[in-house]
């Protein structure tokens, strides 16, 4: 069973469980005149709808790439997760409005043994369902499933608050139904906002996890001809489509044919090991007198405060110009001023050369 089939099967389990819970809670809530239980039932229906959206999104994201969308439809999964988060937010706001009305114009809920049993069963079901769905989501790297599972676990806590409200009513004859309904609503809204953050961030484009960066860098550095690895960038077009680029520094004596073979080997290795389609750029590591100049310029640049790394050194003989990329640390907030500082420092020591400085940045967490 492939990834999409597992996501769909897990979502079907979620739909069935939430529809059954919503039915039970609706009946019990109406019979007991409890707005908290009724709103909890509404939340279960929104959870069922979330699972339906996950199924639809998974089906659409699994479509093959075409001429118009050559990178596939994997990002539809992110859109599905956003829609689910919005549904959760709407359910939370609706519940909040009704709960506030209940506080303003309260009615006394009627709890029975049957009511309490249904609430306890609902808590148990939600804990099992939430744990199952979230684990599958993490295993399959599905934001939609993770969101649905997390929401179900929140629901268990929410339903527990309803049980506490019922206990207070039965033992102390104090009606906190509207208050607990309000608290439930706020928890739902908070969960919706948090769930919205992850897929939106992924659509905007995130930095590379540090361990992923190190794994790729170390893998490429295993090749004897590779002196440095820089500028690793990854773009995610869904969980199964990663397209990226990196630059490597190789000896300046290598031929185009040798470099061609090297980059082909590296790209195939990264694809088979990490599933990344990679584009590789080339920098030259100079030898001889030019190598000494390269190292001297780099050492001088590294001595400047807040310089983290130097790469992409290149010398244009026709106009005596040196270009290089400088990566500052996180304390540098004005690239233009920092660029001027680097330029003046290098120019003061190597006055016979002109310098073209590019301020670069790390793309890792």
User: What is the residue-level pLDDT of the chain in tens, covering all 365 positions?
Assistant: 788 889 999 999 989 988 988 888 788 778 777 676 777 787 788 778 888 988 998 889 888 888 999 888 989 988 988 988 888 788 788 878 988 888 888 776 666 777 777 778 888 988 999 899 999 988 988 888 888 887 788 778 777 777 787 788 778 877 777 887 788 788 888 888 888 888 898 888 888 889 999 999 999 999 999 999 999 999 988 877 899 999 999 999 999 999 999 999 999 999 999 999 999 999 999 988 899 999 999 999 999 999 999 999 999 989 999 999 999 998 999 999 999 999 999 999 999 999 999 999 888 87
Q: Which two tokens stand for residue 48?
A: 């069922």
Q: Please tell me the distance from the alpha carbon of residue 354 to that of residue 182, in angstroms, as a whole number.
A: 67
Same-domain status, 197 and 162: yes
**Residue whose entry in the numeric block shows the structure tokens 């190292």:** 295
Q: Please tell me the distance from the alpha carbon of residue 46 to that of residue 181, in angstroms, as a whole number.
A: 16
Of the residues 242, 257, 285, the one at which a domain ends: 285
Task: Give the total number of structural domains in the chain.
Answer: 3
∠85-89-95 over CA atoms, to 5°? 145
Same-domain status, 258 and 310: no
E strand residue ranges, 165-320: 228-236, 242-251, 276-285, 307-316
CATH of the domain at 134: 1.20.1510.10
Q: Compute the Cα dihedral for 267, 268, 272, 276 and give only its sign.
A: positive
Same-domain status, 115 and 254: no
Q: Please tell me the distance from the alpha carbon of residue 283 to that of residue 310, in angstroms, as a whole number.
A: 12
Same-domain status, 227 and 312: no
- For residue 74, how many other CB atoms are within 10 A of its CB? 20
Same-domain status, 261 and 300: no
Q: Please tell me the distance from the alpha carbon of residue 108 to that of residue 35, in angstroms, as a whole number.
A: 10
Same-domain status, 87 and 233: no
CATH of the domain at 242: 3.30.70.1350
The model's pTM is: 0.73
Domain span including residue 256: 205-285
Same-domain status, 236 and 125: no
pLDDT for the residue numbered 365 = 72
Of the residues 285, 307, 341, the one at which a domain ends: 285
pLDDT for the residue numbered 330 = 87
Q: Please tell me the distance from the alpha carbon of residue 11 to that of residue 132, in angstroms, as a whole number.
A: 11
Same-domain status, 50 and 85: yes
Of the residues 238, 261, 285, the one at which a domain ends: 285
Q: CA neighbours within 13 Å on the CB side: how many for 48?
A: 15
Same-domain status, 308 and 237: no
């Amino acid at each position: 069973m492939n990834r999409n089939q597992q996501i769909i099967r897990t979502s079907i389990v979620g739909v069935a469980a939430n529809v059954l819970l919503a039915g039970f809670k609706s009946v019990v809530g109406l019979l007991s005149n409890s707005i908290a239980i009724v709103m909890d039932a509404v939340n279960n229906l929104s959870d069922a709808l979330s699972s339906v959206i996950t199924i639809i999104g998974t089906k659409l994201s699994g479509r093959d790439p075409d001429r118009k969308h050559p990178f596939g439809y994997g990002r539809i999964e992110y859109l599905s997760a956003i829609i689910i988060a919005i549904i959760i937010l709407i359910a939370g706001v609706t519940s909040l409005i009704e709960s506030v009305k209940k506080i303003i114009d309260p009615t006394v809920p009627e709890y029975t043994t049957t009511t309490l049993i249904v609430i306890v069963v609902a808590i148990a079901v939600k804990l099992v369902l939430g744990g199952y769905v979230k684990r599958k989501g993490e295993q399959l790297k599905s934001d939609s499933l993770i969101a649905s599972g997390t929401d179900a676990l929140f629901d268990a806590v929410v339903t527990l608050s309803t049980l506490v409200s019922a206990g207070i009513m039965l033992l102390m004859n104090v009606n906190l139904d509207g208050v607990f309904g309000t608290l439930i609503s706020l928890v739902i809204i908070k969960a919706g906002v948090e769930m919205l953050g992850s897929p939106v961030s992924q659509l905007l484009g995130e930095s590379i996890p540090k361990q992923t960066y190190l794994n790729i860098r170390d893998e490429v550095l295993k090749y004897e001809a590779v002196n440095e690895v820089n500028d690793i960038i990854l773009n995610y077009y869904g969980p199964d489509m990663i397209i990226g680029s990196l630059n490597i520094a190789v000896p300046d004596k290598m031929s185009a044919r040798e470099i061609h073979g090297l980059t082909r080997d590296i790209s195939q290795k990264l694809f088979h090991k990490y599933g990344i389609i990679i584009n590789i750029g080339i920098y030259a590591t100079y030898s001889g007198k030019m190598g000494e100049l390269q190292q001297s310029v780099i050492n001088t640049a590294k001595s400047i405060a807040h310089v983290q790394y130097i790469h992409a050194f290149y010398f244009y003989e026709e106009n005596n110009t040196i270009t290089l990329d400088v990566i500052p640390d996180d304390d540098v907030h004005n690239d233009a001023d920092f660029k001027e500082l680097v330029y003046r420092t290098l120019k003061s020591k190597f006055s016979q050369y002109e310098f073209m400085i590019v301020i670069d940045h790390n793309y890792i967490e």
